[in-house]
């Protein structure tokens, strides 16, 4: 069988000492395509560089994660080293440079805008200024998606209602055939149904192998809207929990998806690859 990893961070410093070995294991496991996801200016550039170094196998997204819009009090050690040129930006919030991302989007290896969206998980109820800033930057990235013709890679955590309101009120800014991919969606099936009506795709990762909380969502999403992801280096699937995640673990995720949906793994693998090619416009 062949597999795809639609959302991972192989360009992060977490892999600086092992990147080629990780790539080799992924290919040996049958992973046909991976997408390296950017989260701000520096990691977006590194995602493009990783894709260029692995032509025809790796692709990239470029954009700004909502946690980097303004200070959130959280700095991910997997993402940035302290000597990174953008360490201070990431700690204090990074200004969104539209022209910078437009230039990166010209690279043929770039297949999506993001990781972008809303994340209210680490902000207080009275953090309206932060929420407003996240909404503004998300709208600007929706504009980039429309202008470039490349789908959105969405991060939405503890903000599903506001996210749904934004995309519903700005349908003209969404691509009509493949508006976006809901990465690691954790909110209600009711909101998910409305996002499906708008044309969104959904990724599933390692958490489904050790938690039953997502079974109803897995069954809800039509087979032509499902993608597999690792979100590596995070959330490794069983039986590798606690390890640094990597694309070679995708078969465990595909196996569990097929099990939950009651279909043959090989059949489901083929469907996921078709979905991957369609949403990212890869021939």
Predicted TM-score (pTM) of this structure: 0.94
**How far is residue 200's CA from residue 195's CA, in Å, rounded to a whole number?**
6
Closest CA to 91 of 40, 154, 159, 132: 40
The pLDDT value given to residue 116: 98
User: What angle separates helix 41-53 from helix 98-105, to the nearest 10 degrees?
Assistant: 10
**How far is residue 255's CA from residue 269's CA, in Å, rounded to a whole number?**
9
Three-class secondary structure of residue 5 per DSSP: strand
The pLDDT value given to residue 127: 85
Closest CA to 228 of 204, 200, 192: 204
Cβ-contact 59, 36 below 8 angstroms: yes
Positions of the chain with pLDDT lower than 70, given as ranges:
71-75, 80-93, 124-126
User: What does the angle CA 47 – CA 52 – CA 54 come to, to the nearest 5 degrees?
Assistant: 95
CATH number for the domain that contains residue 147: 3.20.20.140
Cβ-contact 183, 210 below 8 angstroms: no
Closest CA to 107 of 33, 47, 19, 179: 47
Closest CA to 131 of 73, 181, 66: 66
The pLDDT value given to residue 75: 63
Average pLDDT, whole number, for the chain? Answer: 93
Boundaries of domain holding 255 = 3-280
The pLDDT value given to residue 129: 87
What is the domain count for the chain? 1
Q: Could you tell me which residues come within 8 angstroms of residue 94 by beta carbon, excluding any fewer than 6 positions away?
A: 40, 41, 64, 68, 69, 86
The pLDDT value given to residue 92: 59
The pLDDT value given to residue 90: 54
**How far is residue 56's CA from residue 24's CA, in Å, rounded to a whole number?**
15
């Amino acid at each position: 069988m062949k597999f795809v990893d639609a959302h991972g961070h192989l360009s992060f410093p977490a892999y600086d000492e092992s990147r080629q070995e990780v790539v080799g294991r992924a290919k040996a496991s049958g992973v046909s395509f991976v997408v390296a996801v950017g989260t701000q200016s520096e990691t977006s550039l590194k995602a493009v560089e990783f894709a260029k170094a692995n032509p025809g196998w790796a692709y990239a997204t470029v954009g700004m994660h909502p946690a980097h819009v303004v200070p959130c009090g959280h700095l991910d050690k997997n993402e940035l080293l302290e000597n990174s040129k953008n360490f201070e930006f990431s700690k204090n919030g990074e200004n969104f440079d539209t022209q910078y991302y437009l230039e990166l989007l010209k690279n043929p290896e770039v297949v999506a805008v993001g990781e972008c969206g809303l994340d209210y998980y680490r902000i207080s109820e009275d953090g309206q200024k932060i929420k407003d800033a996240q909404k503004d930057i998300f709208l600007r990235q929706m504009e980039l998606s429309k202008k470039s013709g490349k789908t959105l890679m969405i991060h939405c955590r503890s903000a599903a209602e506001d996210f749904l309101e934004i995309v519903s009120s700005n349908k003209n800014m969404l691509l009509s055939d493949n508006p976006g991919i809901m990465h690691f969606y954790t909110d209600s099936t009711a909101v998910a149904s409305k996002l499906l009506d708008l044309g969104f795709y959904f990724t599933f990762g390692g958490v489904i192998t050790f938690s039953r909380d997502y079974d109803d969502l897995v069954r809800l999403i039509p087979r032509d809207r499902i993608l597999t992801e690792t979100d590596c280096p995070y959330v490794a699937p069983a039986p590798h929990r606690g390890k640094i995640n990597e694309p070679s673990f995708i078969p465990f995720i595909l196996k569990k998806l097929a099990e939950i949906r009651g279909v043959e793994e090989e059949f489901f693998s083929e469907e996921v690859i078709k979905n991957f090619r369609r949403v990212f416009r890869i021939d």
